[in-house]
Structure 1
Amino acid sequence: MARFFIDRPVFAWVLAIFIILAGALALPRLAVERYPAVAPPSVSIYASYPGASPQTLNDAVVGLIERELSSVKHLLYFESSVDTSGEASITATFKPGTDPELAQVDVQNRIKAIEPRLPRSVRQNGLFVEAADSGFLMLVGLRSPDASVSEAALGDFMARNIIEELRRIEGVGRVQLFGAEQAMRVWLDPTRLTGYGLSMGDVAAAIEQQNLEISPGRIGDSPSVPGQRISVPLSADGQLSTPEQFAAIVLRAGADGSRVVLGDVARVELGAQSYAWGTREDGHPATAAGVQLRPGANAVRTAAAVRERMAELAPLLPRGVESSIPFDTAPFVKISIQKVVQTLLEAMLLVFAVMYLFLQNWRYTLIPAMVAPIALLGTFAVMLALGFSINVLTMFGMVLAIGIIVDDAIVVVEGVERIMAEEGLPPREATIKAMGELTGAVIGITLVLTAVFIPMALASGSVGAIYRQFTVAMAVSILFSAVLALSLTPALCATLLRANTRGHHGRGGLFGAFNRGFGKMTGRYQRGVASVLQRSGRVMGVFAALVAALLLGLHWLPGAFLPEEDQGYFMTSIQLPAEATAERTLAVVETYERHVASRPGIGSNQSILGYSFSGSGPSAALAYTMLKDWGERAGATAAGEVEAAQKAMSTVAEGEVMSVMPPAIDSLGRSSGFSLALQARTGQSQAELRAALQQLLKLAEASPLLSEVHADGLPAGTSVQLDIDRAKAEAMGVGFSDISNTLSAAMGSQYVNDFPNKGRLQQVILQADAPHRMELDDVLRLYVRNSEGGMVALSELVTPRWTEAPLQLQRYLGFPALNLSGAPASGVSTGQAMAEMERLAEKLPSGFALQWTSQSLQERESGQQAPWLLLLSMLVVFLVLAALYESWSIPLAVLLVVPLGLLGAVAAVLLRGMPNDVFFKVGMITVIGLSAKNAILIVEFARQLQQQGRGLVEAALEAARLRLRPIVMTSLAFALGVVPLMLAQGASKETQQAIGTGVFGGMVSATVLAVFFVPVFYVVVQGAWRWIAQCLRRRRPMPEGIVDGTEHR
């Protein structure tokens, strides 16, 4: 193949130009994102049952939906949560690879099947089925700097003009309004209502009867009588639209002309549909919408589209209103990619510098420098064809590949240069001879380096998606490198290089000093190899000790999934006692806002009252705090700001304030650390489940391996249980449904119907006015009508009692559960922390079980797959080498070097205090291929020398001498190429350091140790293999020379 291109250099250039064109056309079309779609897709179901207790929601809504979900195809797990706000959410997570759109359709069909069995109020409010990632991509806000527009008006404008615009943007999965649109609020006075002998039901019925659409038809519509000359439509005002019109609704009319209207018993106003949420931006009232990404959508493109759409809507904003995006995760994505691209360029410069130092001629250096970008461009073309994107995984693959894709070209150029210098051949003849020696090695190295990544592509789950991105980037670039090394590189060598004289390496100056030093090192190395070959037995004993050290290091190495990163923001959850009001919660939020305002590294803060990851309610709040850009922080970090916030808020007298870092991948959870669910599997009560939770939390608090372990949910609190005397109600002619409807309408709220308001249908909502629902006595003063028309006080039918009850109920896989999350202590990995939680859970009473969720579930899965992936990678490399060399012994001699590379990788990571995470596992697979590559360079030449008649030891010794320079050059080029990763700073430094440290350490040990061990492995394995063959034929004892290295033939 190489000879063909040496004779046809134009053909080689045409092939290269086609690769360049394909890559250049593909590059601008590739999507840019931080991570590809690695999280399992999820579908969420939202239901609203105003006024219902958590237990009622659980029984009447969630239980029905969960039973229907349990048979959905490809379901991984489902979890649900209900609270006192009357809101229920059920999230179904599917196996990786499931089409999220098909999953959403399947879930919607299941919900439709059971919808008639759900309570009327739930059906009336609607069930929403949406596919979206768990975290927010960004928050879009509206504010009035001069306070000329109220918070309620901001919420209504957002609902009318912004929400639907955002939902139509490609890539948006869900838009959640943290505010409320307008509604016609009917604030009832129960005392006056009772005085007129009216009930809550009477008011609702009157509104339904007098606020409805009328379709009166037409005059003269067909079929008409003969001679009809006109046909005109009729219209009538059926629906009401102003508070005054609603206040005039007639509730009762007497024969004497007297009447009672709604205004006599209620205050009617155009208010907010819900008062559950409040939003504050940098300490000032505002409204906001949370944008969640659709599973698999591109974050950067979606965020850019949202910003573009908001810019288009800016001229439509009312006077005194301005829009903002106080929280956005996309900038970190772009900065991360920019940092990796910068690292790629730095790696290329370092690699080319090493090449120039060894090759010492700009023509020799130019050839690999030309080949590397062409190989990368070809990789971009294949990525586009496979639907991949430019993300940190593919870019990491290319950074690591830089040191590999120049290897083939370096080996060829170095071989041609050596032959020209030592044998005096002209470039063309030297290239032909060099390719005859090197083609087998190039093909062998390429097959090994691509084969080693094949098992990674077979991994399942989210970790498999991560591995596949990295695998394709590296394997494809390596294949392009090999194709170019056998086509363009020899053509360039034959045409671009100039004839050399003997003694090329003896020039003066810096290069001369380097060459003399390298020559002396080569001589000492050759003597060292000869010495170890004479002590093969001892060397193999040292090797066994190193393997034992490797196994011990792997045991010591803590496990993790992905490194925790400074993504430029953090989140703070605020949870007050369950009975706390929104006013008390606001006071704590304002304290937090004053703290972040005093921090110079903080850029902005968005607080949401009434909402948190734990649940909804007046005692909860959540803050998204953005840091300034990395270049403007003066040393501030997200972890440091989290620690400062925790310290500052620890003095808050009431409630719990918890600041947390975001997860490495937003779609894999809501915070870093670990997350799990404690299930009651054998029918335990909520009290028993909470007692088990408290026991587990106390055990975790005492553990030195754990930190900030807490329950993810609303705490149990004081509630009033209303015991209804059903027998007495029946005896007094009061229907149970009348009691239920009265309580729901007065103390909760009742959605009656809709009214038109500025071109939009909005809700009409009944509720007791604020002064009439502040005390327990207000409940007992409510009246219901009996079957005889009389009014009966609830105090005669209802007995209240104070009790402790859960304000939120959670379920996991259909079992009652309580969610927990936490973090490892300083210096402890998440893997160690997870193992500690499992150990502590064994101390709980029987019947309780831990279930890992979100990122922790994926971490557990990745840890279980990793050992098999390593073994499978080594097996694949062995089989490829066996097929290539038609030998079972040569692959064994090559693979024995792998533990030496892995030892360096483990040692480097241990020294820097890093865990065994996904990126380290990727690095280990890479080190396997690189270690085998160095061994192949020696073993291939030793095999060729043996075929030429050299003895076993002599061939190994000469091959080691001849291949030392290319091994050192390629290894040094690769090692320096990953130095920018290992020493990365700024955005995304954690992931870069995680992958660079292990690979650098592995490459150093695979080079320094392998150049001495590989000749020994070759001699011992080949000698042992020969002895086994001879024993099978002659049954003679093993000669001493095989062990001490004295047998040469």
Structure 2
Amino acid sequence: MNEAAASLSSDIKVDTHIFQQADFIQASVGNVGRALLEGALFVIIILFIFLGNFRTTLISVIAIPVSLLATIIVLLAMGMDINTMTLGGLCIAIGSLVDDAIIDVENVYKRLRQNHLKPQGERDSAFNVVFEGSREIRSSVINATLIIMVAFTPLFFLDGMEGRLLKPLGISFIIALFMSLIVAMTLTPLLCKDMLSSDKYLARNSKESLVSRKLSQWYGRALDMALSHKGKIAMSTLALLVLAVIVFTQMGSSFLPDFNEGSMTISAVTGQGTSLEVSDQLGGLMEKELLQIPEVVRTSRRTGRGDLDEHSQATNGAEIDVTFQLGKRSKDEVFDEVRAKLGSIPGVAVTVGQPLGHRIDHMLSGTKAAIAIKIFGTDLSVLQMTGNSIKSAISGINGLVDLSIEQQASTPQILIKANREALAMHGISIEEFNQFVELAFSGEKLSDIYEGQRRYDVVMRLPDMYTRSVDGVRNALIDTGYGSKIPLEEVSDIVSTTGPGAISRENVQRKLVVSANVSGRDVGSVVEDVKSVVASSVQLP
């Protein structure tokens, strides 16, 4: 980009900070990395409080960096990246990485203290005590770890986008847990032997920590009470289970949590056939409104896209990329103000989202919105009528925003219908007729011309006088098979008519899409409301 900017005129400035997906990725990885460090620090503090011993805490904590380092090495060997999902799996595992080590350390330390209390002649060697103390809980540690690992295996059976998102998280979690088990079985006993087995140290730390003693007393009383009231405890547990099921069924649902990407993408569509000049004026007005919002840092806009673009768009559509920086207000409050300001501009249908969210929505439903209602049929007028009915019916649903219907309005067209008898009489084949019409009115690129750093296409087609009106098209001259030229109207029927500006299809079928976003509610409950309203209020043909 720097090289491209250097070749441009001095009055052209290139801003590469309008939207960069790398910013969001770096921020996400940074947030997860910070959470990883904070989680590790929190684990260390909790361990020290409950173990009450610096050396046992240190031995347990060593399992965290060693397990993480081994996990990262394995992930790299498997060809995986260190991204948000793999780091997320490590964050989830951070509290479990020390579990095996803690169990091992506590049991070995207990056996060492018990061995130290024996008379000198009856004591066993430190190596044997550590070995036996570690071995007697080995099967329990392995079984407990395997159970947790098995609990994450359903992630590997997910298909589609869900699988692609969650599989790296599950893989990193399971590998980290397995590495912590290896560390607990190998490194932890060795450290216990070297750091906890001396007679001087055991004599100085013969008692459990105050926190451990208090917890043991409290747990003993609680266990006695539970065993004395088995029926009540069982009924209370069952009641909590039922309550949990009820609460779970009432919880909202969505595919992914709402991210703060630091930028938003606004899609604005005006009436079909709106000229580029008018769309540009409306786009400028929207940018002025956006820049009045305190949190908005900068904006950029694209009005229309070329026919050969991967995301071709007519001149009545525009996309505005907005970079924002949150302050005292939340993201939802900023988005609500954006919708309020742009919604006051007449004749413009606005959809507000975020770049990554738009891509996910597009992959899920084929539209840049969280909710898409697809209507299939053969008659475009019936599709349009049904779409308007659905839009009107669901417009009052709470939490539904950016409600819009795909525009398939009629546009002026010139219809050229070949007269096969006239073509045969003048010695023109239907293939030659089609080639002439396409070349004359659509044009064909022949070459390129370079002028400095600029490149121009050389396109051959008829002059504008033959393409701008019905009379011009009728008077366009076509070569006959006998070497003469005749007006196009002598071998075809040319009329002015109207037709759809665009026809959307899915699996060959014609379709119309009513789309909307969600604000202030979860997507799942809003979708259920939409289904209920459509089923009860809209009569589908």
Please indicate, yes or no, whether the TM-score normalized by the shorter chain is above 0.5: yes
Match of 1:380 in 2: 72
Give 3-state SS (helix, strand or coil) of 1:823's partner: strand
Give 3-state SS (helix, strand or coil) of 1:404's partner: coil
> Which of 527, 543, 550 pairs up with 2:237?
543
> Which of 450, 456, 460 pairs up with 1:765?
460
> Which of 241, 253, 270 pairs up with 1:576?
270
Match of 1:833 in 2: 526
Match of 1:564 in 2: 258
Match of 2:194 in 1: 495
Give 3-state SS (helix, strand or coil) of 2:395's partner: helix
Alignment of 1:108-127 (within 5 A): none
Alignment of 1:639-1038 (within 5 A): 639-664=332-357, 666=359, 669=362, 671=368, 673-675=370-372, 677-680=374-377, 684-704=378-398, 706-711=400-405, 713-720=406-413, 722=415, 726=419, 748-751=441-444, 753-754=446-447, 756-757=449-450, 762-769=457-464, 776=469, 779=472, 782-784=475-477, 789=484, 792=487, 794=489, 798=493, 800-803=495-498, 805-827=499-521, 829-840=522-533, 842=535
Task: Give, in whole Å, the separation in 2 of the partners of 1:836 and 1:662.
Answer: 27
Contact 1:327 1:606 (8 Å CA) reproduced: no
1:531 Cα deviation after fit:
2.0
Give 3-state SS (helix, strand or coil) of 2:351's partner: strand
Alignment of 1:20-31 (within 5 A): none
Match of 2:47 in 1: 355
Match of 1:298 in 2: none
Structure with the larger RCO, 1 or 2 (CA within 8 Å, 6+ apart) = 1
Contact 2:351 2:369 (8 Å CA) reproduced: no
Task: Give, in whole Å, the separation in 2 of the partners of 1:451 and 1:816.
Answer: 46
Task: Give, in whole Å, the separation in 1 of the partners of 2:426 and 2:330.
Answer: 68
Task: Give, in whole Å, the separation in 2 of the partners of 1:562 and 1:535.
Answer: 43
Gaps of 5+ in 1: 1-309, 848-1049
Match of 2:185 in 1: 486
The amino acid of 2:164's aligned partner reads A
**Could you give the per-residue CA deviations for residues 901-951 of structure 1, whole angstroms, max 9, x where no partner exists?**
xxxxxxxxxxxxxxxxxxxxxxxxxxxxxxxxxxxxxxxxxxxxxxxxxxx
1:586 Cα deviation after fit:
0.7
CA separation of 1:688 and 1:734: change in aligned 2, threshold 3 A:
farther
Task: Give, in whole Å, the separation in 2 of the partners of 1:476 and 1:373.
Answer: 14
Give 3-state SS (helix, strand or coil) of 2:169's partner: helix
Task: Give, in whole Å, the separation in 2 of the partners of 1:728 and 1:616.
Answer: 39
Give 3-state SS (helix, strand or coil) of 1:327's partner: coil
Task: Give, in whole Å, the separation in 1 of the partners of 2:519 and 2:259.
Answer: 16
Contact 1:642 1:661 (8 Å CA) reproduced: no
1:468 Cα deviation after fit:
2.0
CA separation of 1:741 and 1:357: change in aligned 2, threshold 3 A:
same
Superposition CA RMSD, Å: 3.6
Match of 1:616 in 2: 313
The answer to which of 559-568 and 644-653 deviates more is 644-653
- Normalising by structure 2, we get a TM-score of 0.83
Percentage of identical aligned residues: 20
- Does residue 414 (structure 1) correspond to residue 106 (structure 2)? The answer is yes
Task: State the aligned residue count.
Answer: 517
**Could you give the per-residue CA deviations for residues 574-627 of structure 1, whole angstroms, max 9, x where no partner exists?**
211112111110110110121233334333322111139985222121112222
Contact 1:356 1:362 (8 Å CA) reproduced: yes
The answer to which of 831-840 and 442-451 deviates more is 831-840
Match of 2:87 in 1: 395
Task: Give, in whole Å, the separation in 2 of the partners of 1:466 and 1:786.
Answer: 60
Match of 2:151 in 1: 452
The amino acid of 1:606's aligned partner reads S
- Normalising by structure 1, we get a TM-score of 0.45
1:428 Cα deviation after fit:
4.9
Task: Give, in whole Å, the separation in 2 of the partners of 1:838 and 1:476.
Answer: 42
CA separation of 1:614 and 1:752: change in aligned 2, threshold 3 A:
closer
**Could you give the per-residue CA deviations for residues 38-66 of structure 1, whole angstroms, max 9, x where no partner exists?**
xxxxxxxxxxxxxxxxxxxxxxxxxxxxx
CA separation of 1:655 and 1:316: change in aligned 2, threshold 3 A:
closer
Give 3-state SS (helix, strand or coil) of 1:558's partner: coil
Contact 1:570 1:662 (8 Å CA) reproduced: yes
CA separation of 1:524 and 1:364: change in aligned 2, threshold 3 A:
closer
Match of 1:405 in 2: 97
Task: Give, in whole Å, the separation in 2 of the partners of 1:587 and 1:809.
Answer: 27
The amino acid of 1:658's aligned partner reads T
1:485 Cα deviation after fit:
0.9
Contact 2:408 2:500 (8 Å CA) reproduced: yes
Task: Give, in whole Å, the separation in 2 of the partners of 1:483 and 1:598.
Answer: 58
